[in-house]
Structure formats: structure tokens, C-alpha cells
Amino acid sequence: MLARHFIAKFGKSFGKPESQLTSDGLSELMRHDWPGNVRELENVVQRAVILAENGNVSRQAVNASLVTEPRSGNSPQLSGTFEDQVRQFKLNLIQDALQAADGNKTLAAARLGITRAYLHRLLSRSVSSEGNGTVDVSGRSSARAS
């Protein structure tokens, strides 16, 4: 199955070579309507591996990964430059990891395979690119009080 290939690929790249798809995780992936888009599956599996507890890609990890994917058959509207898209993708990964780690930035960084300092740098760049704002523990931007 293609999902297992992606799990092995991302497990290795994120330092989680023991990552496995649980039966409930597989059931959840099979319930999703994949409109022939392999990249969507790859992105969902990548986030699920990051969010996976103990290397087990479970239903919860898959569900958390599906939340940010468009559910319609239409392609998402791209906006901004390539760099803007990459920055947003990284921020989405960070938000997912922070949510899975209950706001613990050290744990989120470890799950992403990056240092805590790099995580902070990515978050501060996203805030500065969005204007005057702060990032809460879930990684979402919010307006800063003046």
C-alpha cells in the first residue's frame, strides 16, 4: 500500500524508523475520499508520522492530519509566492506538532526532528511576516494588544 511506503519514508526522515500504520489508522485512511491525489495522501501521512505517538500512526494521528487538507475534489487555491507556500506548510506542521504535544515546544520540536531554537525561529518569522502578532502555545497567530 502506498500509505505504508510513505510512512516508512517519513519515519526514516524524521528519525522514527519504527513507524507503523495501525489497523484503525488504515481504516481511517480508507474512509477518506482520495480524489486521485497522491500528494494529498503523502502530505497527510507526513503529518500523521510527525504526530504519531510511539511510532504508531493511529486513527487520531490520521484524523489530526486530515483536518487541514481540503475535503472537496477541487484543487486548493494557491496564493502568494513559493516561499509563502513553503512558510505556510512549515507553520501548519508546527501547529499540528504543538497541538499533539499539548503546547510543549520542546516535545513538538523533537517530533519534527528540529531543534527548539529552530522551531522558535520559524514561529517568529511567521509572526513577523503576518505583521504585528503573537503565537500562542498551539502555534496559531493572534493579534497583539497595543
The predicted-structure confidence for 17-55, as pLDDT tens digits, reads as follows 788 999 998 888 888 877 767 888 888 898 888 888 788
For residue 25, CA distances in Å to 7, 60, 63 come to 12, 8, 9
Question: Does 45 lie in the same domain as 84?
Answer: no
64 and 109 fall within a common domain: no
**DSSP code of 80?**
S
Q: Same structural domain for residues 11 and 26? A: yes
Number of domains in the chain: 2
Give the pLDDT of residue 81.
Answer: 82
Give me the half-sphere count of Cα atoms (radius 13 Å) on the Cβ side of residue 27. Answer: 6
Which of 28, 44, 77 corresponds to the end of one domain?
Answer: 77
136 phi/psi in degrees, rounded to 5: -80, 180
Mean of the per-residue pLDDT values of the chain: 77
CA angle 64, 143, 137 (to 5 degrees): 40
Regarding whether 63 and 51 lie in a shared domain, the answer is yes
Residue 74 confidence (pLDDT):
46
Q: The C-alpha cell of 109 is what?
A: 520540536
- pLDDT given for residue 60 in this prediction: 87
Q: Based on the domain organization, do 60 and 85 belong to the same domain?
A: no
Domain end among 41, 61, 77 = 77
42 and 84 in a single domain? The answer is no
pLDDT given at position 130? 57
CA distance 41 to 35: 10
Instruction: Identify which of 100, 93, 105 has the alpha carbon closest to the alpha carbon of residue 69.
Output: 93
Per DSSP, the three-state class of 68 is coil
pLDDT band at 144 (very low <50, low <70, confident <90, very high): very low
pLDDT tens sequence across 64-105: 887 644 444 444 555 678 887 788 888 888 888 888 888 899
The DSSP symbol for 76 reads P
Domain that residue 143 falls in: 80-146
Other CB atoms within 10 Å distance of the CB of residue 115: 12
Same domain, 94 and 128: yes
> What distance in Å separates the CA atoms of residue 129 and residue 64, rounded to the nearest whole number?
26
Quickly state the pLDDT bin for 129 (edges 50, 70, 90). low
What percentage of the chain exceeds 90 in pLDDT? 5
What is the per-residue pLDDT for 24?
A: 92
